[in-house]
């Protein structure tokens, strides 16, 4: 398949992870290098200390500073699909004509007075949301579980200077998947929902789908009436287990799901990060020239 052509079906390979605990969070430094990002190793070489990483965005140019706290768990580390999504945002900013994200972004573009409104789910360290704010000049809300929010806020604050310089705004909020009250609290006034590496534990499939359903299929009569582009979900995902097909099968009952981009596998892996576009069933993406 050409990397940029939407694809309807997910492949059905065997499990990618012979030893799931090892591949659960593969050495993300390798994927940073693969995507052209620099990685500063921890100063003392242990995982108990904060690990600061600098991610260069050539398109602006700008550098995002991200603090990881590996000893506090998986939510405090950068996962491989995040860097793939950041690379696509950077690609869009550089050469929108060849970027698979660009038709989605341009479907919402209404000029400089109306910045794109983006919600990120399961933001973890916040790299994707911060990159979206910087590359698109967007109004971005990054979210995660309540206990993850302080590190997310730390990273948002660490990049406040770059945001002030290049445009884009960032808001940090707790949002638990599957909780209707959390979606009501955040609201539905978004164009784009982003996420990376959020399909991993099977007990989280249904809560995540519920949140997506509340967001993408929540009544938005105004947009329908005005025939405006409705919310789109873009998800970068690195496949690890065959069981993940259950997530996609359930999601396809509610949404049209297309693959818009596939990364080359990094060394030692059989699969690369895939980027999916989810839209409410039957909803078409407005065609606009980039």
Ligand X SMILES: C[S@@+](CC[C@H](N)C(=O)[O-])C[C@H]1O[C@@H](n2cnc3c(N)ncnc32)[C@H](O)[C@@H]1O
Is the CB of 81 or the CB of 285 nearer to ligand X?
Answer: 81
**Which among 35, 138, 52 has a CA at the least distance from the CA of 88?**
35
Shortest reach from residue 179's CB to ligand X, in Å: 8
Shortest reach from residue 207's CB to ligand X, in Å: 5
CA distance 245 to 169: 35
| List of residues contacting ligand X (CB under 6 A) | 74-75, 78-79, 81-82, 122-125, 144-145, 148, 176-177, 196-198, 200, 204, 207
Shortest reach from residue 290's CB to ligand X, in Å: 26
Is the CB of 82 or the CB of 275 nearer to ligand X?
Answer: 82
What residues contact 286, with CB distance under 8 A and at least 6 apart? Answer: 107, 229
Is the CB of 173 or the CB of 228 nearer to ligand X?
Answer: 173
Summary count for the chain: helices (H), strands (E) = 11, 9
Tokens found for residue 134: 């910087």
CA distance 180 to 189: 15
User: Look-up: residue for tokens 């994707």?
Assistant: 128
Is the CB of 240 or the CB of 280 nearer to ligand X?
Answer: 240
Shortest reach from residue 73's CB to ligand X, in Å: 8
User: Look-up: residue for tokens 């949002």?
Assistant: 175
CA distance 117 to 101: 15
Is the CB of 200 or the CB of 278 nearer to ligand X?
Answer: 200
Shortest reach from residue 240's CB to ligand X, in Å: 10
Q: Is the peptide bond before 205 cis (omega within 30 degrees of 0)?
A: no
């Amino acid at each position: 398949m050409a990397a940029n052509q939407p694809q309807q079906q997910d492949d059905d390979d065997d499990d990618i992870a012979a030893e799931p605990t090892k591949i659960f969070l593969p050495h993300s430094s390798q994927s940073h290098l693969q995507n052209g990002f620099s990685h500063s190793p921890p100063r003392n070489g242990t995982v108990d200390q904060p690990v600061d990483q600098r991610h260069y965005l050539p398109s602006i140019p700008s550098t995002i500073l991200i603090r990881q706290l590996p000893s506090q768990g998986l939510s405090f580390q950068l996962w491989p699909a995040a860097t793939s999504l950041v690379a696509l945002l950077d690609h869009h900013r550089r050469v929108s004509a060849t970027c698979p994200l660009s038709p989605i972004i341009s479907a919402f573009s209404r000029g400089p007075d109306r910045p794109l409104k983006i919600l990120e789910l399961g933001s973890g360290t916040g790299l994707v949301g911060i990159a979206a704010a910087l590359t698109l000049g967007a109004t971005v809300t990054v979210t995660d579980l309540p206990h993850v929010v302080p590190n997310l806020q730390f990273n948002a604050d660490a990049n406040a200077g770059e945001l002030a310089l290049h445009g884009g705004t960032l808001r940090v909020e707790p949002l638990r998947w599957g909780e209707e009250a959390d979606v009501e609290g955040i609201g539905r006034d978004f164009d784009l929902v982003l996420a990376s590496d959020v399909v991993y534990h099977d007990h989280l499939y249904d809560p995540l789908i519920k949140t997506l359903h509340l967001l993408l299929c929540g009544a938005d009569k105004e947009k329908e009436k005005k025939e405006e582009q409705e919310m789109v979900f873009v998800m970068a995902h690195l496949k690890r287990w065959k069981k993940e097909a259950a997530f996609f099968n359930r999601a396809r009952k509610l949404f049209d799901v297309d693959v818009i981009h596939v990364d080359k596998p990094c060394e030692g892996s059989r699969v690369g990060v895939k980027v999916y576009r989810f839209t409410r069933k039957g909803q078409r993406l407005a065609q606009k020239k980039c």
